[in-house]
């Protein structure tokens, strides 16, 4: 009987967290003011010749004018540099540089961001991934949020674009795990570093604070550098916040099922602090808990469990700007893919055999 209580307690707890996120609506909102602070937009790019031009064009058309945009070609093996160079020549605010060889003890993206910050001159440092598109209002609204709460870091979870069925069965898991486990408002409201969440797809820093603390250098060998930076920042008494992008920035993270599985597989375990037992307990409760209920409990309790799961998926889809009916319909397949991702992530961690974009990722 005790196992029933544990399963239902965890299910109700997750539903309560999701409901809190729904009610608190942790989204980036429109600013009532216009700002002119200089923002350095910093873009690490490795093998991004196909996606980078779209981001640069959207930044050129951005309504916030006082920006400098610096692209760092992180030792790409494709035509990322010439693709960026041809566009940067069209706008004096845009620049592209070639990154240095990766030194020992660093992971690639972290070193690229460190180099970009050394070149930046703005009042704020905005780190973006190369495969994103920005909308008018993004930068001004984010600067307003930083000033309003006197924050040192604002991170946004971008709206995810999906074009294939395989992507729909994998990519929504990011928002599912996030909004089903963490009351997002507590990232700002609580001083406890345990309430830390961030997305490397959008990281806006107060430049003076970043220069003093060198955040990417502090986490130079960490795979999930975004969350680690938020934890370190809060541990030192600085203020950080994580919000949903609310349509102001969007991204197609992965092209197809296989790339999505491999992409999430490289850092899924790291999101659980590389704690395999913790991940396995989570999987037992989330994946096998409902199955256990279906086999051993009566219809009324099963109906109650399924109702909570469906309502959670509806709220999460709404918050993340995704199609509700697709996420509800594909929920069982997404959960199966979570098992596959978890297994791959554990395998990569144990074997130490992990590569991304043609470069081996060493865990130190």
Are 268 and 340 spatial neighbours (Cβ–Cβ below 8 Å)?
no
Q: How many helices (H) and strands (E) does the chain have?
A: 17, 12
Q: What's the pLDDT at 225? A: 92
pLDDT in tens, 90-133: 999 999 999 999 998 899 999 999 999 999 999 999 999 999 99
Q: What's the pLDDT at 2? A: 81
pLDDT in tens, 241-256: 999 999 999 999 898 9
Q: What's the pLDDT at 358? A: 59
Report the percent of the chain where pLDDT is more than 70. 96
Q: What's the pLDDT at 355? A: 64
| DSSP-derived 3-state class of residue 127 | strand
Average pLDDT over residues 5-34: 94
- The token duo for 269 is 């375990």
Are 99 and 75 spatial neighbours (Cβ–Cβ below 8 Å)?
yes
Q: Which residue has the higher pLDDT, 295 or 176?
A: 176
Beta-sheet strands, E only, within 74-190: 94-98, 124-128, 132-134, 153-157, 159-160
Q: Which domains, from first to last, does the chain contain? A: 2-23+259-350 (no CATH), 26-253 (3.90.550.10)
Measured CA to CA in angstroms, residue 300 lies from 14, 95, 197, 289, 311 at distances of 20, 62, 36, 16, 16
| Residue 335 CA neighbour count, 13 Å, CB half | 17
- The token duo for 75 is 């030792």
Q: Please report where in the chains the tokens 């069925």 appear, as a residue.
A: 165
| DSSP-derived 3-state class of residue 360 | strand
Q: How far apart are CA 341 and CA 347, in angstroms?
A: 10
Q: What's the pLDDT at 153? A: 98
Beta-sheet strands, E only, within the chain: 39-45, 67-73, 94-98, 124-128, 132-134, 153-157, 159-160, 202-206, 240-244, 249-251, 355-356, 359-360
Q: Which of 227, 231, 219, 320 has the alpha carbon at shortest distance from 271?
A: 227
Axis-axis angle for helices 108-119, 225-235 (nearest 10): 60
Q: What's the pLDDT at 52? A: 95
pLDDT level of residue 356 (50, 70, 90 thresholds): low
Average pLDDT over residues 13-42: 96
Q: Which of 234, 230, 239, 341 has the alpha carbon at shortest distance from 283?
A: 341
Q: What's the pLDDT at 296? A: 73
Check whether 331 has a pLDDT greater than 90: yes
Rounded (5°) CA angle 208-217-245: 65
pLDDT level of residue 1 (50, 70, 90 thresholds): low
Check whether 303 has a pLDDT greater than 90: no
Average pLDDT over residues 14-40: 96
Average pLDDT over residues 172-199: 93
Q: How far apart are CA 127 and CA 130, in angstroms?
A: 10
Check whether 337 has a pLDDT greater than 60: yes
pLDDT in tens, 70-80: 999 999 999 99
């Amino acid at each position: 009987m005790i196992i029933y209580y544990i399963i239902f307690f965890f299910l109700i707890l997750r539903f309560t967290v999701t409901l809190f996120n729904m009610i608190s609506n942790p989204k980036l909102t429109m600013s009532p003011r216009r700002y002119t602070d200089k923002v350095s937009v910093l873009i690490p790019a490795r093998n991004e010749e196909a996606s980078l031009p779209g981001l640069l064009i959207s930044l050129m058309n951005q309504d916030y004018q006082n920006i400098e945009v610096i692209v760092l070609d992180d030792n790409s093996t494709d035509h990322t540099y010439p693709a960026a160079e041809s566009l940067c020549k069209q706008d004096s605010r845009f620049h592209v540089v070639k990154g240095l060889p990766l030194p020992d003890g660093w992971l690639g993206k972290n070193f690229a961001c460190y180099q970009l910050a050394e070149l930046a001159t703005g009042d704020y440092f905005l780190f973006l991934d190369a495969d994103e598109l920005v909308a008018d209002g993004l930068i001004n609204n984010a600067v307003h949020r930083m000033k309003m709460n006197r924050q040192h870091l604002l991170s946004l979870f971008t709206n995810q674009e999906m074009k294939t069925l395989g992507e729909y069965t994998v990519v929504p898991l990011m928002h599912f795990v996030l909004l089903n486990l963490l009351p997002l408002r507590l990232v700002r409201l609580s001083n406890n570093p345990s309430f830390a969440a961030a997305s490397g797809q959008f990281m806006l820093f107060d430049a003076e604070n970043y220069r003093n603390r060198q955040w990417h250098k502090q986490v130079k060998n960490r795979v999930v550098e975004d969350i680690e930076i938020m934890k370190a920042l809060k541990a030192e008494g600085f203020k950080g916040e994580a919000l949903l992008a609310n349509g102001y920035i969007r991204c197609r993270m992965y092209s197809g099922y296989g790339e999505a599985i491999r992409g999430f597989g490289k850092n899924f375990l790291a999101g659980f602090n590389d704690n395999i037992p913790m991940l396995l307990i989570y999987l037992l409760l989330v994946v096998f808990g409902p199955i256990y209920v279906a086999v051993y409990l009566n219809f009324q309790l099963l109906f109650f469990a399924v109702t909570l799961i469906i309502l959670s998926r509806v709220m999460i889809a709404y918050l993340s700007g995704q199609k509700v009916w697709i996420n509800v319909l594909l929920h069982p397949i997404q959960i199966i893919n979570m098992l596959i991702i978890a297994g791959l992530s554990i395998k990569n961690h144990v074997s130490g055999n992990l590569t991304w974009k043609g470069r081996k990722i060493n865990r130190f």
